[in-house]
Amino acid sequence: MAKDYFSQWLGIKVLESGIGISKLSLVIRKEMLNGFGIAHGGITYCLADSALAFSCNSHGKKAVSVETSISHLVSLSEGDELIAEAKEEHCSNKIGTYSITVKRVSDNVLVALFKGTVYRTSKDW
Amino acid sequence: MAKDYFSQWLGIKVLESGIGISKLSLVIRKEMLNGFGIAHGGITYCLADSALAFSCNSHGKKAVSVETSISHLVSLSEGDELIAEAKEEHCSNKIGTYSITVKRVSDNVLVALFKGTVYRTSKDW
Amino acid sequence: MAKDYFSQWLGIKVLESGIGISKLSLVIRKEMLNGFGIAHGGITYCLADSALAFSCNSHGKKAVSVETSISHLVSLSEGDELIAEAKEEHCSNKIGTYSITVKRVSDNVLVALFKGTVYRTSKDW
Amino acid sequence: MAKDYFSQWLGIKVLESGIGISKLSLVIRKEMLNGFGIAHGGITYCLADSALAFSCNSHGKKAVSVETSISHLVSLSEGDELIAEAKEEHCSNKIGTYSITVKRVSDNVLVALFKGTVYRTSKDW
């Protein structure tokens, strides 16, 4: 996290981090809005992708994301606080699959659903 | 673009924008790196998602992204310049489907492949 | 189901079907194998997609699948019995989002993870 | 193809097959329809997934599909002939990424867009 400049810019907080799991939060700021005055879809993606990175790297071997998808369910506004929670669905020797939910804290509504596939290298980090 | 604060922060330049198409560029900066010293996967996603937004809103009706997926093919470093190019694959009354390629300018290598589905509202913007 | 010829060929059984949910099963037969002697990836997809159809049409309005993704976690053999379970993650006026898990009955292992987005028409069926 | 029982049932014809590419066709039959009288979404998926398999295994090493997504653009009827064409977008030592288009022969309309990620094992086949 110390050298993770983008997560710092996003203002991501690590609420939980363990083997195959992670829980991160973020608050939508003005500079994260798009031209329609709602959060750029990339912001939710970035939070979910960071949750993916924290959980898939928890085994000690460096893992890289190869394919991810996100369903955007609800539009988000300035001030909304989000929590992303990652769950390892499967982990073989080389491939890992994760699902990440993103919820809005104020009403606990699911705002995005993310699925990620990573390739697990043999390099320690 | 004037009110698109996040695209401004990303330093996105609009190279082309027309009915169903768009071409945007961005340069990877230090504050876009993750803890491994490479670009956060979210950066490429944000660029591609902006290209999606420019192309799917080109018909005059407001469209919102409902589902997107991205394949990350190559790791990216500080200083890399990227160009995202959107193509409308299908557009019905309510649903639009787009494919976006992201290439690195220096060697023209494909670095990410993005597919996006949008819901086309009946509101003008 | 009476006119659903392909689900009949697949030998799909409807274990449960309600508002936004469904639970279907299928047994892998010899004619579902690919050239490597394992189940064609399409079989798991077909089962999950049928589960999606049963759950998203449960509201009485006809819904059509616009975008789906599936992660294949485990290879499957002749004789394996599978259960797909659909969950409605979000349902707005026009768009619905569903996640479907596919498990092997013998050991309860998750063999595939499916995410689907549907467009909800205004037509009754 | 000789032992690929499911592709045989589907009536798939191999029009072209080379390093990283493939072109397959199929005709929609009555037993491929769903309860609404249109082709089950799984049929288009199966054809595209077979095209993926032919192209990603063309390098001589066994490759397995780990994550695929498909956008369904147009509904299909009995008698429609489809052609799927696979293109290798990227191929590293362990991971390959492919895009597959599915078109209807009668009017050359794009009916589905498929993206697939495979893991390349070190086993010959």
Tens of pLDDT, residue by residue over C108-117, are 999 999 999 9
Judge: D42–C41 Cβ closer than 8 Å, yes or no.
no
The predicted complex's ipTM stands at 0.95
The structural domain count of chain D equals 1
Token pair recorded at residue C102: 């596919």
CA-CA distance, B9 to A107, in Å (whole number)? 29
CA-CA distance, D61 to D20, in Å (whole number)? 12
- Tell me the C-alpha to C-alpha distance, in Å, between residue C58 and each of A113, C2, C14, C47, D70: 22, 16, 13, 17, 23
* Residue among D6, D14, D45 with most chain C CBs within 10 A, to mutate: D6
Mean pLDDT of chain A: 95
Rounded to a whole number of angstroms, the distance from the CA of B64 to the nearest CA of chain C is: 11
* Closest alpha carbon within chain C to A95: C73
Let me know: does A60 contact A125? Beta carbons within 8 Å. yes
Q: Which of the four pLDDT bands, split at 50, 70 and 90, describes residue A78?
A: very high
Residue C108, C-beta contacts closer than 8 angstroms, at least 6 positions apart? none
pLDDT value at residue A61: 87
Token pair recorded at residue C66: 């616009």
Res A52 pLDDT > 90: yes
- Tell me the C-alpha to C-alpha distance, in Å, between residue D15 and each of A104, D9, D12, D82: 50, 17, 9, 12
> CB distance from B117 to chain C under 8 Å?
yes
Residue C80, C-beta contacts closer than 8 angstroms, at least 6 positions apart? C27, C28, C39, C104, C105, C106
Rounded to a whole number of angstroms, the distance from the CA of C88 to the nearest CA of chain A is: 11
Res A73 pLDDT > 90: yes
The C-alpha angle with vertex A114 and arms to C92 and D66, in degrees rounded to 5, equals: 125
Let me know: does B44 contact B111? Beta carbons within 8 Å. yes
Range of the domain at B27: 5-124
The pLDDT of B47-72, averaged and rounded, is 94
Beta carbons within 10 angstroms of residue C123's beta carbon:
9
* 3-class DSSP state of C68: strand
Instruction: Give every strand in the sheet of B13-18, ordered side by side.
Output: A13-18, A21-27, A81-91, A95-104, A110-124, A61-72, B61-72, B110-124, B95-104, B81-91, B21-27, B13-18
Q: Which of the four pLDDT bands, split at 50, 70 and 90, describes residue A114?
A: very high
Token pair recorded at residue B28: 């990877």
Judge: B95–C69 Cβ closer than 8 Å, yes or no.
no
Q: Can you give the pTM of this predicted structure? A: 0.96
* Residue among C52, C65, C67, C123 with most chain B CBs within 10 A, to mutate: C67
User: The domain spanning residue C90 has which CATH number?
Assistant: 3.10.129.10
CA-CA distance, A18 to C73, in Å (whole number)? 22
Q: Which of the four pLDDT bands, split at 50, 70 and 90, describes residue B123?
A: confident
- pLDDT tens, residue by residue, A11-43: 999 999 999 899 999 999 999 999 889 999 999
CA-CA distance, B30 to B68, in Å (whole number)? 26
